[in-house]
Amino acid sequence: MKIHKVGLRFAGASSLVLLASSFANAADPSTAKKDMMMSDMDHSSMDMSGMDHSGIDMSDMDMSDMDHSSMDMSDMDHSKMDMSGMQGGKAPADARSPDYSNGVPYGQYGKPMMMGDMPLWGVSVDDLGYQFDDDQINYEVGAWYGVDERRLSLRSEGSVQTKDDKEIDSLTSLSYWKPLSIFWNGEAGVAYDTENDKPAIMAGIVGTMPYFIETDARAYLYSDGQVRLDLGAEYEWRLSQHWVVIPEVGLTAFSKEDSDNHITKGFNEMEAEVMLTYEIFSRQLAPYVGVSYETALGSARDQRRQHNESVDSSSLTAGVKFWF
């Protein structure tokens, strides 16, 4: 096989020519002097502000290898730079509809709403129980309709005698409910008391005290000028995921004496109860058993004795609490 060495000879000759050219430049005193003078020059004191750079063509320059880290651009004024032609900027006024629908209808379900703006309702039965010794049924029921910022609330509490004339004593109110702060809510409305058969104007505050004590205070101004004040507090002591002990206490006071309805001025009575509940069905239903105690206070004790009524009473209770 015959090998051609022409290519190798040409490569060798080219290398010799380049090497000879390098030695010639190094031996030229003028070239060496120029290189030495440019490397030793101090460019920081050079004033080039008067130079006209508009005629310099830099289109063929490669700036990818330049070091821009030492360039100081803090004194540059960018306020006069016109970037209106760049991509972005302010969108036209008709670029998007205010409700982000872009003209597309919402269909059969209508415009969607945030969860907090949707009207809701609820019913809670805080007490529906039987007192064995007093032979009566106690109840406390509440219902509401509205949103988080405002609601219409209906509330009723009282007792029903299951013997003799089966007398019903109840206090029912219809009020406007509104949050006052994170832990407190205000109520204002009208009420009716069947015990003295009088209407009243109601105002109250309900909330949570420190240590998660649920409290409520409601005042009633009756049509005859009588003022009633109801104070209550309860605490849920959770023993497990289902067993809960609930102690609660309530006080009732009046502004003036009313002998026809066996009412004295000041605090009239105190009610206390301890319930052991068991929560079932996602804690929406809670049967309970407990012990209740009621006593007259102040001048009401003497008044009850004069009418042959008991001053103190206690009873076993059983009932249910639920909400939906």
**Residues 187/176, Cβ–Cβ less than 8 Å:** yes
10 Å CB burial of residue 202 (0-12, 13-18, 19+) is buried
Residue in this structure with the two tokens 């945030």, named with its chain if needed = 114
**DSSP secondary structure code for residue 290 in this structure:** E
Please report, in tens digits, the pLDDT of each residue of the chain (324 residues total).
Answer: 444 444 434 444 444 445 545 544 544 545 444 444 444 555 555 555 555 555 555 555 555 555 656 666 666 666 666 665 555 666 666 566 666 666 677 777 777 666 667 789 999 999 999 999 888 999 999 999 999 899 999 999 999 988 877 788 999 999 999 999 999 999 999 999 998 899 999 999 999 999 999 999 999 999 999 999 999 999 999 999 999 999 999 999 999 999 888 899 999 999 999 999 999 988 899 999 999 999 999 999 998 888 888 899 999 999 999 999
Q: Which two three-digit tokens encode residue 269?
A: 């009575």
**DSSP secondary structure code for residue 302 in this structure:** H
- Rounded to 10 degrees, what is the CA torsion of 46, 50, 54, 59? 0
CA gap 133, 292 in Å, rounded: 10
3 state DSSP class of 52: coil
Query: Which CATH superfamily does the domain covering 117-323 fall into?
Result: monomeric porin ompg (2.40.160.40)
Angle at 225 between CA 138 and CA 155, to 5 degrees: 30
Q: What is the pTM of this model?
A: 0.66
**Residues 168/161, Cβ–Cβ less than 8 Å:** yes
CA gap 78, 71 in Å, rounded: 16
